[in-house]
Structure 1
């Protein structure tokens, strides 16, 4: 079936539910009692649970103030609140575990403990470094980072210093920084001493302290449970034992809990996250129905097929709760699998391909280059810069921390009253024109272009809010304030560079997965079966970020002229065509790669094979008649799109990628004749 229509403000429950597919609707209609939703990538899980909340509010089943929706990022929470407002529902609390816990802890601390809540340390590194120094461990920056991660794992797993050694051994935790478990246990104890002396708490303490208060004070627990009666938890496969303990205390004896997750996207186990609570949900709540969302509205059949194959080759390691995706979008271009001589050749080829996609109409902000480790980004940044392509490194300077954004929001806030009678889009353009925004982007790259892109994203947001909500300047400023608090940035133009971990929850029209080789994916540090399985899921997450264009690649050597010792990732065994002797400088031979993509298309689309072969034969005749290479007539991917779509007229043909005005005029009539099955005389056509 086709993708359900986009969200529109409505107060009709019939219209609300009609916007969902049958599985999403099953989620939205189950308003009471426990519910488990196993939702694959791109299947509309956020849509389903957002509509479920809206349905509950609009039917009077829920008081919006008593609903708490828990997400794992501030950005996701902000997006959920925004979607609910678009549906005409306000007042629902959508927060991360930490944000919800901090709000409650700040409120109850004065009456339970007295005084103000201690300051929260922004980073553990300095605290861990001091604890390490007191023990005479003396560690470099990398080891301090690893020790900080181990401290965090212990706390979210509710492991104390006294039982750390035993628990770490049972969990198979490896030595950190060369220190045994007993030494790490002593570090945990001294770390707590350092915090107490400085009068600070860390982020995990926010949850731990609230758990302690709810356990010890029945009156506080009763007050919290009186406030929140219905719970929704997104990304439930990433819940830690500490977060689950807090959730249990919020619930009490009630069973009003909807959880949504995908075991195939469990990629944070090193931080203490575990899918166990998701997979065992129906053991605890035996009456809970399980709804599987399998219809993938995000990605093309080519991308979905690769994603399914990546998981299918997990063998016995594949979880029975994993969802096999079913593509809903029309067939499109084949997935590209490329191999290069070295990292520089790979980066330059990616930059060239990005430029080609932009020329074909794919916006730069709809393109991402993803990698396993942050150290891989440097050569990619240089290649994009050399090609004059704007890019953004995810994890760099935050959008709302940029100087131009702060200045712009201040000016918009000052203009709320004066622009009351002016359309918001027009008013925003007037205000921002005074600080450097213009209708056309500047020709210059670098900082000048980045500044314009930041301002232009505010203009686009104003237009979007006016279209969806009829918002004015006041509503725009309020939206920006909330987005700033949640770090929910508007879209900014530029290719996204990000690690696979940082890409989770995001999506783009075109995705490049680089470095898909042994030693990087799976990472060389992954030695256990569990660690290898998580690396496979990481590749799955990367693949499912792509809507239409997807390229996987690796380089045989790290440096130019270096030893070609790298091998493709084991996760692609049986998927990647044998490139053997076809390898040459810059990648596999184009003919071999094209042949592999064609074979993949024919295998995946047997019903279209006969028409595709007729189109290829026609193209060959045209190419010989005009003495030009066949690909200059129409590319293989264009022929595949035609064979799949089977256009009936020129208008339908013009919608396909690769059919511009020139191609349409030159070959449109001939192509339609071939699709109809008519006899086509190429020489007679040329003579006419």
Structure 2
């Protein structure tokens, strides 16, 4: 699925690693992601007309002309978000207006804590997402990833600085196919990878619910289609094939240091017969953030040893 690379794309952009993507929009290019970021940007800077116009046009009956009128009237009131309460929106947007004004006032408050802001914005945006976009459930998963990602940043300002409405060229926004001497990473959905091969292939999220998709559960014909896609993915590698099966999936809406998670189950396609031809390697993150040696599962902290050393 195109959404499986969401967090990877963000990290590649942060580190300045160029990439191209086949199949689906890049994460930061998706309209629903831009919508939610625009809401946060307007709360962060009331004079951000680009973000404000995008948010206003999420409301029914609020087109570009009405949005411009609201912004012009707001500019005459020094751009204070609290002044929105005194403005009269179009009739079709009237039912949604108070909730938007309340949300902006809450997010723009100087002492509003950063943890939870993205989740609060996502809750307001959910009914508009369902009204404006198809496949709202899948798109909602993207926004959950964005919520989880926000927990890794200490402040809203830092978060929005890293994630621009228009991603930089270093994130893979290339004008054409890269030159032969350029080093770049290729991200691709399985469907888009048909007929293509690479020296090394990394297959993400080889767990039930992702591979096969949760939407294929309970229907044999869909499971068989997922199995065929799995075969396509495995056969794209010419030399090296690496399968990643995460053991834990962290819940959204928690503190950046939160540890609330659920466990993932290995894909049903990774049968014992398949695993007999695979070198199984485990890796954990050691204290300090660096991966430990493959195959060595070391504890992050030996509390018992620390206590014994105190006496």
**TM-score greater than 0.5 by the shorter chain:** no
TM-score by length of 1: 0.18
Name the structure where helix makes up a greater proportion of residues. Answer: 1
TM-score by length of 2: 0.38
The structure that has the greater radius of gyration is 1
Higher relative contact order (CA 8 A, sep 6+): 2
